[in-house]
Structure 1
Amino acid sequence: MRYITEPAFVLHARPWRETSLLVEVLSAEHGRIGLVARGVQGPKKHLLRAALQPLQSIRFDGEQRGELAQLRAAEAVDAAPLLHGDAALAGFYINELCLRLAPRQAPQPELHAVYAQVRERLRAGEPLAWTLRRFERDVLDALGVGLDYALAGEGDAIDPAARYRLDPEHGPRRALGERAGERRELATGRALLALASDAQPGSEDLASLRLPLRAVLLHHLSGRGLKSWEMLGALGRLTAAQRCSAPAASG
């Protein structure tokens, strides 16, 4: 199979041998594609190397040979978002999630569109937590395993005042009782209704979506977590430790 000016987003790139890269891209027509980019480390190849950075939108030519395609040419369509700090970590997360969930050589027009949308939200500096929760919702929808956040699994309307578990197969399940430490693993009804209507909830309700959605994603990742989740957890522990060790403000 030959790819001619195929549009795609770069998900990941890593060095291979002395002068080459192994690159993973997400295309609309062919899903996730693995590319071998040979001889891109030379001084005259800086434009090509720049085009093969994560989050970059490209058009590429290549030839499929077995599992990997040989890259013949690539050019950037636009400038990738310049992300720093937590936003850069969010960019790593969205790329890793797509890398793990998108199948090879299967059309993914919906997922490609979702990626394009979250990329622009990151570029615009929209609130990160809400941007990521919407992205997680939309990725599941694009892959055909999305949930109805306005209805409980039993068919009842979501109660804004209640709390819910998210069952990956059956949707929200109302929590009739909470075990010790379980509250943080439950989404508020208000948050689920906000997610269903695409209206950003308050900070406490928004925070309640993170772990329930992660549990759904973990199910579809076959129980194997993401490196970015580990990084986020380490960052949270470091931030908390810094707060605890900071000297009290005088006055």
Structure 2
Amino acid sequence: MRLSAEPAYVLHTRPWRETSLLVEALSEQHGRIGLIARGVQGPKRQVLRAALQPFQYIRVDALLRGELARLIAAEAVDAAPRLHGEAALAGFYINELLLRLVPRGDPFPELFDLYGRTRAELDGDNLAWTLRRFERDLLEALGSGFDWRVDADGVAIDPAARYRLDAEQGPRRLLSDRGHGERNAAATGRALLALADDVVPQASDLPGLRHVMRSVLVHHLGPRGLKSWEMLAELSRVSVKREPGPVAE
């Protein structure tokens, strides 16, 4: 199959043999694709290498044979966002989620659009909320999303209650006699309804929302976690030692 001027976002690039690169990209019509870019070392190929950096929006010509495609040409469509600090870590996180959860070759046009929107928001003011929305929409696109307005028993979400997320069945209300630690790791009903309405929740609701969304992602990822989570944990430890304060995730 020939791909011609196929829009795509670069997710990850690594060396392939001596002079080539293996590029993972999220394309508009063909989902996640693996591209072999041959002979890209050397000064004459600098423009091509620049176009194959993570977060770059490109148009691709490639010949798809089996699981991998041979890259023929790639052209940058715009300038990739210059991400630093927590925004760069967040970008690494969404790319890693896509690499781990989206199989190659399955078309997901909604994911292509989702990535473009999230990419544009990574340097915004509410990074944690941007990531929660991305996780919500990623699960929905993969067929693992929830109705955020009702719990697993079909009962309307109570804004004042707390919920955990069952990866298969959705929100489950916590009983009032649950321990303090379990309640702290749960999300408020108010936060779940904010996800349903796509409105920014109260700042105090974001940590619980992060905990429950991660529990669902862990279920789908299996026993091997994400490198970005390890990096975040290390960054949090360093931040606490230097100056206490929140680290966005």
What is the rounded CA distance, in whole Å, between the counterparts of 1:135 and 1:91 in structure 2? 11
1:88 to 2:88 alignment? yes
Alignment match, 1:169: 168
Q: Deviations over 1:60-85 (max 9, x none)?
A: 11112222111010001111111100
What is the rounded CA distance, in whole Å, between the counterparts of 2:78 and 2:108 in structure 1? 21
Alignment match, 2:247: none
Q: What is the Cα deviation at residue 180 of structure 1?
A: 4.9
CA contact (8 A) 2:12 2:24 kept: yes
Structure 2 SS opposite 1:230: helix
Alignment match, 2:217: 217
What is the rounded CA distance, in whole Å, between the counterparts of 2:75 and 2:184 in structure 1? 45
Alignment match, 2:32: 32
Give the 5 Å matches for 1:39-50. Answer: 39-50=39-50
Q: What is the Cα deviation at residue 223 of structure 1?
A: 3.4
Give the 5 Å matches for 1:1-251. Answer: 1-123=1-123, 125-176=124-175, 177-243=177-243
* Runs of 4+ that moved beyond 4 A: none
What is the rounded CA distance, in whole Å, between the counterparts of 1:24 and 1:126 in structure 2? 29
The one-letter code sitting in structure 1 at the alignment partner of 2:151 is A
What is the rounded CA distance, in whole Å, between the counterparts of 1:109 and 1:223 in structure 2? 28
CA contact (8 A) 2:174 2:183 kept: no
The one-letter code sitting in structure 2 at the alignment partner of 1:155 is G
The one-letter code sitting in structure 2 at the alignment partner of 1:13 is T
Q: What is the Cα deviation at residue 42 of structure 1?
A: 1.1
Structure 2 SS opposite 1:113: helix
- How many residues align? The count is 243
Runs of 5+ unmatched residues, structure 1: 245-251
Q: Deviations over 1:191-244 (max 9, x none)?
A: 111111011011111121001001111111123211101111111111112237
The one-letter code sitting in structure 2 at the alignment partner of 1:70 is R
Structure 2 SS opposite 1:208: helix
Q: Deviations over 1:18-50 (max 9, x none)?
A: 221110001121111111101111101111111
Q: What is the Cα deviation at residue 95 of structure 1?
A: 0.4
Q: What is the Cα deviation at residue 16 of structure 1?
A: 1.7
What is the rounded CA distance, in whole Å, between the counterparts of 2:125 and 2:73 in structure 1? 33
Higher mean alpha-carbon deviation, 217-226 vs 138-147, is at: 217-226
What is the rounded CA distance, in whole Å, between the counterparts of 2:178 and 2:38 in structure 1? 55
CA contact (8 A) 1:5 1:60 kept: yes
What is the rounded CA distance, in whole Å, between the counterparts of 2:203 and 2:195 in structure 1? 13
* Identity within the alignment, %: 65
Runs of 5+ unmatched residues, structure 2: 245-249
What is the rounded CA distance, in whole Å, between the counterparts of 2:150 and 2:160 in structure 1? 14
Q: Deviations over 1:144-173 (max 9, x none)?
A: 111111111111111111100001111100
What is the rounded CA distance, in whole Å, between the counterparts of 1:126 and 1:4 in structure 2? 37
What is the rounded CA distance, in whole Å, between the counterparts of 1:161 and 1:226 in structure 2? 32
Alignment match, 1:248: none
